[in-house]
Amino acid sequence: MDEFGLHVEDDVLRDLRRRLEHTRFATATPGPEGAAGISPRYLRELVDYWIHEYDWRRVEARINGYPQFVVEVGAVRMHTVYRPGPERDAPVVVLLHGWPYSFIEMLPLADALPAVHVVVPSLPGFGFSTIPPSYVATSQAVADSVHRLVSETLGFDRYLTYGEDVGAPVSQWLAATRPEKAATTA
């Protein structure tokens, strides 16, 4: 297991700001605002917010406030937030994100579970987890990777799972194929 910390280089942030400052906006289409996609007015407000108000370093620090690591699980290098519970024998809850979002969306739920071990992996191919070309990201394959992460890397025999969107069938696959090890909360 390798510790993980997020740090976007200043050059990348400067480049993003430069590109945002040079955004070319579409002309509004006829009809009610937003009826044919995002309204150019709202998009201008959003880009302005990103240029002048959004504080990436604050967000980065918040994300880095969670203990994270990356580990090889078979052919996948998986990024994971792992927050230990107060007791070694506390229950284990695995939170599986959906698409198009990432592990970050699961962090408020992790915060609401202080009495348990919380495992929040970035599913293979999402966030900071890899997906090798030879790996087919079926729910079964992802479930196998998650199970190996929880059982082999973290050493837990039993756990609960909760998944949203693409994480839901992974959660269900874990519980259906390993009923002695996993139970879904969804």
The domains found in the chain, sorted by start residue, are: 2-61 (no CATH), 66-184 (3.40.50.1820)
The residue-averaged pLDDT of 12-30 equals: 94
pLDDT of residue 42: 94
Is the Cβ–Cβ distance between 118 and 81 less than 8 Å? yes
More confident residue, 183 or 52: 52
The answer to whether the pTM exceeds 0.85 is yes
Question: Could you tell me which residues come within 8 angstroms of residue 13 by beta carbon, excluding any fewer than 6 positions away?
Answer: 56
pLDDT of residue 37: 85
Give per-residue pLDDT as tens, 109-148: 999 999 999 999 999 989 999 987 777 778 998 999 999 9
Give per-residue pLDDT as tens, 49-105: 999 999 999 999 999 999 999 999 988 999 999 999 999 999 999 999 999 889 999
More confident residue, 42 or 184: 42
Neighbours of 52 (CB within 10 A): 9
Cis peptide before 100 (omega within 30 of 0): yes
pLDDT band at 186 (very low <50, low <70, confident <90, very high): low
β-pair type (76-83, 68-73): antiparallel
